[in-house]
Amino acid sequence: MILRVEQLEVPVSPDFVLHDVDFSLPAGTRLALIGPNGSGKSTLFKALVLALPGRGRILLDGSPLSELSARARARALCLLPQQEEGGAAFSVEEYVRLGRYPHLGWLGSFSALDQERVDWALEQAGCRAWRARRLGELSGGERQLVRLAAALAQESRILLLDEPAAFLDPGQRRRLWERLEHVLAGEGLSLVFVSHDVNEVLRRADRYLALQGGAGLRSGPVAELAEGDWLGDLYGLPLQAHRLPGQARPWLLERDAAPGAGSGSA
């Protein structure tokens, strides 16, 4: 499934309009949305699922997204927002079951196949052992993994994840990405994700789309993030690329934090 966005413009308020957004997402691609806070990343996600009205074209395999039914859109695109309130009284399994709604029959019956997919999603997200616990009993990081399980249960072809590793400790963060990449490869899914960790983007994405002040700034292969000074200018940080032994892609560090910086005679 190919997602194509052409000249998207989303008026959010008199002071902010997302504009000049163009990109293509071939099947199986991992695209990172980058940019400072307030640059329009979450707005773009909402526009992609038609939660915000806009102008321009959003196409799935060449057809306008707006012409699809709500269920068909949900089978194509799944948005996992940065934060989500409510649901504390649900058990983990009950919450993940909600992800199956685009696939239920006219009477809303839950089939053995639906249950199989829920079990699979719980396993992939690493939260099967918590299936009977209430969401309100979980930590923020644990709830994030349950929300990922619900997104996987939805069985959409394109995942839209707004800071998917938020609230996770370093170990959970690594395990989440390992699980997610396993699912992406195994299911042939596409991914659009937001991250403020430029090194995470370098390692987890194929391509990037940079937003600044509500406008599409530039896009391309993720290796471009380590070229020149433009990324440091975008974030207001003096970044420098460093090649480490055994690493295919460089690490970006602040110049003052570079390996060996500040060393010398006392």
> 202-241: per-residue pLDDT in tens?
999 999 999 999 999 999 999 999 998 999 999 998 998 8
45/104: higher pLDDT:
45
Please report whether residue 264 resides in a domain.
no
Q: For 125-143, what is the mean pLDDT? A: 92
In a domain, 266, yes or no: no
Give strand pairing partners of 173.
none
Q: How many domains does the chain have?
A: 1
Residue 106's pLDDT band, with cuts at 50, 70 and 90, is low
DSSP character for 157?
A: S
Cα 204–chain centre separation: 11
Kindly tell me if the per-residue pLDDT of 258 is higher than 80.
no
Range of the domain at 184: 3-257
Asked, for residue 239, whether it belongs to a domain, the answer is: yes
Name the nearest CA neighbour of 224 among 200, 246, 249.
249
pLDDT, greater one: 95 or 243: 95
- Does residue 10 sit within a domain? yes
The pLDDT of residue 107? 64
Asked if the model's pLDDT at residue 263 lies above 60, the reply is: no
262 domain-assigned? no
% pLDDT > 70, the chain: 94
- Picking from 204, 196, 238, the residue whose alpha carbon sits closest to that of residue 222 is 204
Answer yes or no: is 127 within a domain: yes
Average pLDDT over residues 156-166: 93
CATH (domain of 75): 3.40.50.300
Write down the number of H helices and E strands in the chain. 8, 12
Q: Is the pLDDT of residue 75 over 60?
A: yes
DSSP state of 239: E
The residue type of 107 is L
Q: Where are the beta strands (DSSP E) in 61-102?
A: 63-64, 77-80
- Residue 263 located in a structural domain: no
Local confidence band at 259 (pLDDT 50, 70, 90 cut-offs): low
Calculate mean pLDDT across residues 135-147.
Answer: 90
The whole-chain average pLDDT of the chain stands at 90
Q: Does a structural domain hold residue 132?
A: yes
Residues 6+ apart with CB under 8 A from 265: none
Hunting for tokens 């896009």 — which residue is that? Answer: 219
Residue 246 and residue 252 in contact, taking contact as beta carbons nearer than 8 Å? no
Please state the rounded mean pLDDT for residues 248-261. Answer: 73
Tokens 């960790």, located at residue: 197
pLDDT band at 265 (very low <50, low <70, confident <90, very high): very low
What type of residue sits at position 112? Answer: A
Long-range contacts: 97-103, Cβ < 8 Å, 24+? 97/153, 98/150, 99/149, 99/150, 99/151, 99/152, 99/153, 99/154, 99/155, 100/153, 100/154, 100/155, 101/71, 101/74, 101/154, 102/71, 102/72, 102/74, 102/75, 102/154, 102/155, 102/156, 103/75, 103/155
What is the pLDDT, as a whole number, of residue 191?
Answer: 98
pLDDT digits (tens, 9 = 90+) for 164-212: 988 888 988 898 899 999 999 999 999 999 999 999 999 999 999 999 9
Residue 94, number of CB atoms within 10 A of its CB: 15
pLDDT in tens, 8-33: 999 999 999 999 999 999 999 999 99
Question: Is residue 143's pLDDT more than 50?
Answer: yes
